[in-house]
């Protein structure tokens, strides 16, 4: 057998996504290039690694075992690289962070300079909803999680980063009565929700329930970006995190409608399991945050104070 690390990487990605098209997109390769490498890899085994049923690609039981072996080999190669850099006195390793979807507007600013200063550190950031973020933390699949609401049932430590403000937002061109009542904004205007499991949705539903509103829900969308575009298009209004609508406010695509009891204010927290043994890269990142957090907030998020 004469397979390459590149072929192992490609086959592992195909096995994870069960799609050549999706694998090519994630690996930034053309679909024909991925198909050729899969064929070359398959030619070295007498047993099929994949099978196509209808138009769907499936990984055979043998293929799943090869994928597991490929993952172990690639992790060992990565470990060799990390150890080499460590002997050279350079910080190395892998940081895995799970981030709630709105946190994608926050976390990169706290990571950018740290990653530039430590090129030997690899970053894996998964952006999803709160339920999945907490689940990945609970399973010890990540080093850190960025959340705006602390999980109830996990014993965690954390670093508070900055406030998270949620406002009632509409399209800039939507017309309202001169002094709309609080009830009318929620009962007569179509509302757009995030999906179940989203912290933003939970905050929105808690506000509505505490005020005994009977709402007119029109749609449910699975990302803050999708909600924002729906609001801009005039499909409805929503309670949205300020951090995600900065440019839309600046460009006069959306506007904030003053509502008594809003904004809802929570805090962005970077958390980790209290029992977790943090890697040198994770410890270094916490040290970096302790030294630079306030400066980053001042430089990148000072505009939030005006709301």
* Residue 87: per-residue pLDDT: 64
Tens-place pLDDT, residues 40-63: 999 999 999 999 998 889 999 999
* Residue 120: per-residue pLDDT: 87
Q: What is the pTM of this model?
A: 0.74
* Residue 74: per-residue pLDDT: 84
* Residue 258: per-residue pLDDT: 94
Residue 265 and residue 201: Cα distance in Å, rounded? Answer: 14
Q: Per DSSP, what are the bridge partners of residue 193? A: 220
Residue 279 and residue 256: Cα distance in Å, rounded? Answer: 42
Q: What parts of the chain have a pLDDT lower than 70?
A: 82, 85-89, 217
Q: Record the tokens describing residue 28, joined without a space.
A: 């930034």
* Residue 88: per-residue pLDDT: 66
Helix (H, G, I), strand (E, B) or coil at 79: helix
* Residue 79: per-residue pLDDT: 76
* Residue 250: per-residue pLDDT: 95
* Residue 86: per-residue pLDDT: 65
Strands (E), the chain: 50-53, 56-59, 93-100, 121-128, 144-147, 156-171, 191-194, 217-221, 238-241, 254-256, 264-273
């Amino acid at each position: 057998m004469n397979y390459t690390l590149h072929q192992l990487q490609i086959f592992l990605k195909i096995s994870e996504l069960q799609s050549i098209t999706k694998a090519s997109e994630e690996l930034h390769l053309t679909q024909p290039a991925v198909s050729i490498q899969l064929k070359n890899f398959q030619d070295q085994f007498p047993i099929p690694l994949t099978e196509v049923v209808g138009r769907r690609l499936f990984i055979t039981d043998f293929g799943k075992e090869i994928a597991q072996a490929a993952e172990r080999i690639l992790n060992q190669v990565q470990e060799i690289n990390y150890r080499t850099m460590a002997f050279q006195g350079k910080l190395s390793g892998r940081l895995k962070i799970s981030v709630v979807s709105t946190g994608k507007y926050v976390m990169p600013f706290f990571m950018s300079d740290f990653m530039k200063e430590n090129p030997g550190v690899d970053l894996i950031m998964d952006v999803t909803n709160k339920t999945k973020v907490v689940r990945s933390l609970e399973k010890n699949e990540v080093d850190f999680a960025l959340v705006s609401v602390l999980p109830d049932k996990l014993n965690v430590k954390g670093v508070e980063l900055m406030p998270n403000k949620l406002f009632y937002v509409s399209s800039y061109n939507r017309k309202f009565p001169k002094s709309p009542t609080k009830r009318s904004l929620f009962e007569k205007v179509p509302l757009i929700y995030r999906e179940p499991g989203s912290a933003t949705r939970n905050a929105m539903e808690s506000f509505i329930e505490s005020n005994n509103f009977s709402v007119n829900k029109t749609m449910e969308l699975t990302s803050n970006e999708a909600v924002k575009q729906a609001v801009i298009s005039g499909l409805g209004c929503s309670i949205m995190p300020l951090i995600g609508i900065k440019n839309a406010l600046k460009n006069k695509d959306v506007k904030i409608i003053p509502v008594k009891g809003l904004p809802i204010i929570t805090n962005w927290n970077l958390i980790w399991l209290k029992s977790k043994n943090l890697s040198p890269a994770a410890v270094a990142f916490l040290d970096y945050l302790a030294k630079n957090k306030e400066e980053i907030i001042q430089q990148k998020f000072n505009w939030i104070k005006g709301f």
